[in-house]
Amino acid sequence: MTVETMPAPAAHPFQSIDAATGEAFGAPFATHGPADVDAACAAAEVAFDAYRALDREARAAFLDAIGDEIVAIGDELIVTAMRESGLPRARLEGERGRTVGQLKLFAGVVREGGYLGLRVDPALPERQPLPRPDLRLRMVPIGPVAVFGASNFPLAFSTAGGDTASALAAGCPVVVKGHPAHPATGALVAAAILRAAEKTGMPEGVFGHLVGPGNDLGEALVKDPRIAAVGFTGSRGGGLALVRLAQARDVPIPVYAEMSSINPVILCPEALKARAADLGTAFVGSLTMGAGQFCTNPGLVLAIEGEGLDAFVDTARTALGGAKPTTMLTKGIHAAYEAGVTALSGHKHVETIGRGDVGEGITCGRAAFFATDAEAFLADESLGHEVFGASSLLVRCRDEAALHRVLKASEGQLTATIQMDAGDVDFAARLVPILERKAGRILANGWPTGVEVTHAMVHGGPFPATSDGRTTSVGSMAIDRFLRPVSYQNLLPDLLPAELRDDAAGTAPRLVDGKPA
Amino acid sequence: MTVETMPAPAAHPFQSIDAATGEAFGAPFATHGPADVDAACAAAEVAFDAYRALDREARAAFLDAIGDEIVAIGDELIVTAMRESGLPRARLEGERGRTVGQLKLFAGVVREGGYLGLRVDPALPERQPLPRPDLRLRMVPIGPVAVFGASNFPLAFSTAGGDTASALAAGCPVVVKGHPAHPATGALVAAAILRAAEKTGMPEGVFGHLVGPGNDLGEALVKDPRIAAVGFTGSRGGGLALVRLAQARDVPIPVYAEMSSINPVILCPEALKARAADLGTAFVGSLTMGAGQFCTNPGLVLAIEGEGLDAFVDTARTALGGAKPTTMLTKGIHAAYEAGVTALSGHKHVETIGRGDVGEGITCGRAAFFATDAEAFLADESLGHEVFGASSLLVRCRDEAALHRVLKASEGQLTATIQMDAGDVDFAARLVPILERKAGRILANGWPTGVEVTHAMVHGGPFPATSDGRTTSVGSMAIDRFLRPVSYQNLLPDLLPAELRDDAAGTAPRLVDGKPA
């Protein structure tokens, strides 16, 4: 996704902003400074060895308890998040469910133990010319993790969101840099995490929460030598700045930044022939959902010119005309959206297919659908940049070869969608190898918005979709980002981690001599 | 390991250098330039889709065939490598066996299929409020890989070494930048790989080999937009330079650089009481093996002061006096070794415990063992830097707390070794959590030199041991470095990768709903 990392410098004192009106409300929040970063990181470092040494059930119980405490906040959480984010009740109730579901998913992952990647190669004392030692491997947590809350998922990808859940599951203490667009929501959730930590007997310092406007706080956090990895969802500029900071440290650390994606949707010829109108309506539904403020918003549509495409465009235009204007998350995000849409509107090779209703709120976005052709798209890379919000660009292609050229020239993406009918199988089969190199998830006959939190999900993708396309930030595989392997050679059982001892066989999956045992 | 990346600029034409005499010999080699880099990368890019689409058995057969072709070169390979590297016959014959063993290990990994990380979450059409789609995940190869040959393993970590084997196994074409210290050895091996590729019907461009003195060639390779990842074993300076180049690209790519480690050995109190003399002798054996030119050479020894340590030192001094001088790999490596040893010899807080025999060859290294105390070590970080070759530093510690302080202050390491007896279990148990955060492998009562190529091996470690402590460069897990996940949502069976289809269940390990199926 692309949002500005921070809103404009807040008035002192730092307060919540009503997304719909732009007015400050509620009690002021302390702006945390360098001393707070130091204290939180020191506490996380102290907590690390105790936290990682806990048995898996204790850590799983902590994750479960966080979910319970979030639910126990009750409606105050929803009402607060609604006002700070402008998102509607149903969406935030659903997001709360997803947040709790993520925590429970990772509790299950911890209990199951497959993430430990246990491997045992037993000693071969008779091997010639030299005996083979006993070798055992497990994944260990990487160290305290800094998590940057995202503005567009004030619950599911913020204070107790996916990055926090996966890092805590891995055995890493977490220091959250709360998003300044929803400080009251963040404070409620942070307090819930701390209550869960206390109730389940977690070491002090296992979770810290820092807030404040401006970039200094996040910079200090990433530079702190006790921080071992960073999770971030936000703008390309913000993500790349964190990557640079992390690489300039004496000891560089990994940054998992989810940054920028326009999520191409390819409309195959037979699908367009059979159901162009349905596709046009459904596309606008995906485009305008949540004011288009999803990392997986369909910002690029590719199709071959013809009657089917014309029908798709007509229906999309009509559907867009009826799209209600929606409050966006912050004034900054709205301003960036308007700037992006204005630039596309004025581009000499871009035609405006349609716009949504004009809204009255100061942060109301008017959905927008534009069109260009393959040659223009290939000639101007700015046309491939994300406009965060409900904006999408159709690229009309003369033929399949042109469509392939556009895909191959596009940047790395979180998702790529194929709308196809039975007669498109060969056409789609030629797309898949191209899409596999461009995206973390390939989907057919659905829309990219809506990300299942499950085991086989990849919410990641080649640069610049993320800063590290070898990983995912959603789904159970996200835990791998915060682990590293350690091998133990000829250690006495008393010195081995409990899960690697012979008597622990069966308590977590392990490979013995490379084979599932 | 630390070696200079390149030897001094070679005389034109570029030739092999006899490691023992410093004299050029044999036929001249073409120095590859930018056009060759471009051609090799273009060919690798073209080969990629065809190569990754091969079934696993075909790729495994290719890996096996490379091993067979290397063996088929016969004694010419050993004799050539001996002259270029100065390493003795027995070592190189063993290294050839290891090289072939690595290729066969990865062939087995490809056949077994666990590296694909298959995950299937079946659709739940009845789920409320929304159905769950069918989601399937597999790891795909990252793209063409640049491999930098290492000087200290002219077979096992060079042209057909571990990085090449693991990248080819993953499904990535490889472009090797051959090490200029053994161009003739590299040419023989490259030809063997190309013969294997032809015999097993691999796509053209699956393997490329570039050689030349100087840094331009490697720089051009890392900058090439078609290269998707880099494997490197060499100096800290060289590795960090490649990391910087890779990060400055329009599309940054991962660099797996194995760079610098001094491999602490901790002599526990009871072990010193019981067998100080044996430890001293065995330590010198590990220190001087292969002229100390191992990434895992024991360059740091930690122990608590006392009679046991005095006995260890006495025996080590005596053993060192009998250590034969050994030809080092290149004049550059020898010069760097001499400079490192001279700096330690002249350090005001460093005592020289002993030196090996004086040798006559121009690149003969005299093994060296030095001592300092914990306070001096903590006050001067240069004492913790690697001196590549047979040089080690004993740090005398007043007590356990001082020993812990030294370990905690030391940089990331490939290995950490505990020499212990039964009475040391509690002492060792307090060490393990510290060592887990510092090293990729923890071993007891052995020596760090000698790295098993197996499933549970980690040859990696926190920075600066490597540039990416989340990975290993030795052992079957090394394949993970060249893979990234892709998720497939609601794809028709015809469009799914074969291994993810329902009818492929059982042909490779898979998780179904997160559980081994």
Cα-based distances in Å from A72 to A68, A78, A153, A183, B96: 6, 12, 19, 19, 64
For residue A144, which phi and psi values (nearest 5 degrees)? -60, 135
Q: Taking CB atoms and an 8 Å limit, are B442 and A516 in contact across chains?
A: no
For B90, other C-beta atoms within 10 Å of its C-beta total: 9
The class of domain B35-259+469-482 in CATH terms is alpha beta
Catalytic residue among B268, B295, B364, B397: B295
Nearest C-alpha of chain B: how many angstroms from A455? 6
Q: Rounded to the nearest 5°, which phi and psi values hold at B374?
A: -60, -40
Min CA distance, B123 vs chain A (Å)? 11
Distance of residue B272 Cα from the nearest chain A Cα, in angstroms: 18
As a dihedral over the C-alpha atoms of residue A52, residue A55, residue A60, residue A66, rounded to 10 degrees, the angle is -60
Residues 6+ apart with CB under 8 A from B486: A436, A439, A440, A441, A442, A458, B137, B138, B139, B140
Q: Is B489 in contact with A443 (Cβ distance < 8 A)? A: yes
User: What is the number of alpha carbons within 13 Å of residue A434 lying toward its C-beta?
Assistant: 21
Q: Which residues of B touch A436 (CB under 8 A)?
A: 140, 486
Q: In a 10 Å sphere around its CB, with 0-12 CB exposed, 13-18 middle and 19+ buried, how is residue A185 labelled?
A: buried
Backbone conformation region of residue B86, classed left if phi is above 0, alpha if psi is from -120 to 50, else beta: left
**In the predicted structure, residue A422 carries a pLDDT above the cut 80:** yes
Buried b (16+ CB within 10 A) or exposed e, A108-131: bbbebbbbbbbbbbeeeeeeeeee
- A365 Cα distance to chain centroid: 23
Residues of A in contact with B487 (CB under 8 A): 440-442, 456-458, 472, 475
Query: Shortest CA distance to A98 belongs to which of A134, A60, A71, A59?
Result: A71
Based on the number of CB atoms within 10 Å of its own CB, is A79 exposed (0-12), middle (13-18) or buried (19 or more)?
middle
Return d(Cα A252, Cα B255) in angstroms, integer.
Answer: 13
Task: Check if the beta carbon of residue B459 is closer than 8 Å to that of residue A486.
Answer: no
Closest to A286 in 3D by CA, of A301, A297, A300, A275: A297
Taking only the tens place, the pLDDT of each residue in A210-231 is 999 989 999 999 999 999 999 9
Cβ atoms < 10 Å from Cβ of B232: 28
Record: contact A137-B471, CB cut-off 8 A: no
Averaged confidence pLDDT in chain A: 95
CATH of A33-259+469-482, one of 3.40.605.10, 2.60.40.10, 3.60.21.70, 2.60.40.2550: 3.40.605.10
Q: What whole-number distance in Å separates Cα of residue A355 and Cα of residue A208?
A: 43
B258 labelled catalytic: yes
B513: nearest Cα among A439, A114, A469, A56 = A114
CA distance A482 to A469: 15
Instruction: Give CA–CA dist A156/A164, Å, rounded.
Output: 10
Query: Is B442's CB within 8 Å of A484's CB?
Result: no
Q: How many CB pairs under 8 A join A and B?
A: 220
Among B45, B84, B258, B411, the active-site one is: B258
Question: Where does the pLDDT of residue A43 fall: very low under 50, low under 70, confident under 90, or very high at 90 and above?
Answer: very high
Q: How many CB atoms lie within 10 A of CB B217?
A: 22
Q: Rounded to 5 degrees, what angle do the CA atoms B79, B81, B86 make? A: 100
Contact between A137 and B477 using a beta-carbon 8 Å cutoff: yes
Cα dist. A293→A193, A331, A441 in Å?
A: 27, 13, 19
B273 within 8 A of B293, measured Cβ to Cβ: no
Q: Which residues lie below 8 Å from residue A417, measured CB to CB, with a gap of 6+?
A: A263, A264, A265, A266, A298, A442, A443, A444, A446, A447, A448
- Rounded to 5 degrees, φ, ψ at B68 are -65, -40
Question: Which of B53, B135, B440 comes nearest A486 by C-beta?
Answer: B440
- Select the residue of B412, B442, B483 nearest A488 (Cβ to Cβ): B442
Ranges in chain B annotated CATH 3.40.605.10: 35-259+469-482
Kindly provide the residue ranges of all beta strands, DSSP E only, lying in A179-285, ordered along the sequence.
Answer: 207-210, 229-233, 255-258, 264-267
At CA A405, angle to CA A400 and CA A410, rounded to 5? Answer: 130
Mutate to test the interface with B, among A480, A489, A496 (most CBs of B within 10 A): A489
Do A224 and A211 form a contact (C-beta atoms < 8 A)? no
Helix intervals (H) in B224-268: 236-248
Is the pLDDT at A8 greater than 80? The verdict is no
Q: Residue for token digits 């490597």?
A: B466
Name which of B271, B269, B273, B281 is nearest B369 in CA terms: B281
- Whether A360 sits among the annotated catalytic residues: the reply is no
- What residues of A are in contact with residue B486 (Cβ under 8 Å)? 436, 439-442, 458
Q: In this structure, what are the phi and psi dihedrals at residue B391, rounded to the nearest 5 degrees?
A: -135, 135
CB of A59 closer than 8 Å to CB of A110: yes
Q: Which of B121, B456, B471 lies at the smallest CB-CB distance from A456? A: B121
Cβ–Cβ < 8 Å for B112, A515: yes
Among residues A485, A504, A42, A428, which one has the least CA distance to residue A265? Answer: A428
- Give the per-residue pLDDT at B357: 86
Q: How far is A263 from chain B (nearest CA, A)?
A: 14
DSSP state of A445: S
Q: Specify the 3-state DSSP secondary structure of A514.
A: coil
Cβ neighbours, 10 Å, residue B57 = 11
Q: What is the pLDDT of residue B361?
A: 82
Which residue, among B465, B472, B443, has the nearest Cα to A488 in the 3D structure?
Answer: B443
Structure-token pair, residue B268 = 């526990």
**Tens of pLDDT along chain B (517 residues)?**
443 333 444 435 789 999 999 999 999 998 999 999 999 999 999 999 999 999 999 999 999 999 999 999 999 999 999 999 999 999 999 999 999 999 999 999 999 999 999 999 999 999 998 999 999 999 999 999 999 999 999 999 999 999 999 999 999 999 999 999 999 999 999 999 999 999 999 999 999 999 999 899 999 999 999 999 999 999 999 999 999 999 999 999 999 999 999 999 999 999 999 999 999 999 999 999 999 999 999 999 999 999 999 999 999 999 999 888 889 999 999 999 999 999 999 999 999 999 998 877 888 889 999 999 999 999 999 999 999 999 999 999 999 999 999 999 999 999 999 999 999 999 999 999 999 999 999 999 999 998 999 999 999 999 999 999 999 999 999 999 999 999 999 999 999 999 999 999 999 999 999 999 8
Residues 6+ apart with CB under 8 A from A363: A19, A20, A22, A86, A327, A328, A329, A330, A331, A333, A334
- Taking Cα atoms as reference points, which of B395, B358, B360 lies closest to residue B378? B395
Q: Are A356 and A321 in contact (CB under 8 A)?
A: yes
Nearest Cα to B413, choosing from B385, B390, B454? B385
Beta bridge partners of B301: B265, B394
A515–B112 CB contact, under 8 Å:
yes
Can you read off the two tokens belonging to residue A148? 């940057």
Q: At B283, which amino acid appears? A: F
Question: Where along chain A do the CATH 3.40.309.10 domains lie?
Answer: 264-444
8 A C-beta contact, residue B366 and residue B352? no
pLDDT digits (tens, 9 = 90+) for A312-363: 999 999 999 988 888 999 999 999 999 999 999 999 999 999 999 887 788 8
The CATH architecture one would assign to domain B264-444 is 3-Layer(aba) Sandwich (3.40)
d(CA A34, CA A54): 30
**Contact yes or no for A485 and B458 at CB 8 A:** yes
Cis peptide upstream of residue A464 (ω within 30 degrees of 0): yes
Residue A157: pLDDT band (50, 70, 90) is very high
Please report the pLDDT score of residue A12 as a whole number.
54
Residues of A in contact with B106 (CB under 8 A): none
Distance CA B419, CA A190 (A): 45
The string of pLDDT tens digits covering residues A384-413 is 999 999 999 999 999 999 999 999 999 999
Q: Identify the CA nearest to A414 among candidates A243, A300, A273, A247.
A: A300
CA A242, CA B70: separation in Å to the nearest integer? 46
Identify which of A252, A429, A494 has the shortest CB distance to residue B425. A494
Please name the member of A114, A254, A440 whose beta carbon is closest to the beta carbon of B485.
Answer: A440
Nearest Cβ partner for A452 among B135, B457, B511:
B135
- CB-based burial of residue A408 (10 Å sphere; 0-12 exposed, 13-18 middle, 19+ buried)? exposed
* Contact residues for B153 (Cβ-Cβ < 8 A; gap 6+): B95, B161, B233
Nearest chain A Cα to B483, which residue? A470
How far apart (Å, rounded) are the C-alpha atoms in residues A411 and A191?
A: 40
Question: B431 to chain A: nearest residue by CA?
Answer: A495
Contact in structure between A246 and A145 (CB atoms under 8 Å): no
User: Does the pLDDT value for residue A3 go beyond 80?
Assistant: no
* A395: amino acid identity, one letter: V
Contact A436 B486 (CB under 8 A): yes
Q: For residue A461, is pLDDT > 50?
A: yes
d(CA B500, CA B504): 6
Residues of chain A with CATH 3.40.605.10: 33-259+469-482
ipTM value for the complex? 0.96
Work out the minimum CA distance from A274 to partner chain B, whole angstroms: 18
Distance from CA of B131 to the nearest CA of A (A): 10
Q: Are B145 and B231 in contact (CB under 8 A)?
A: yes
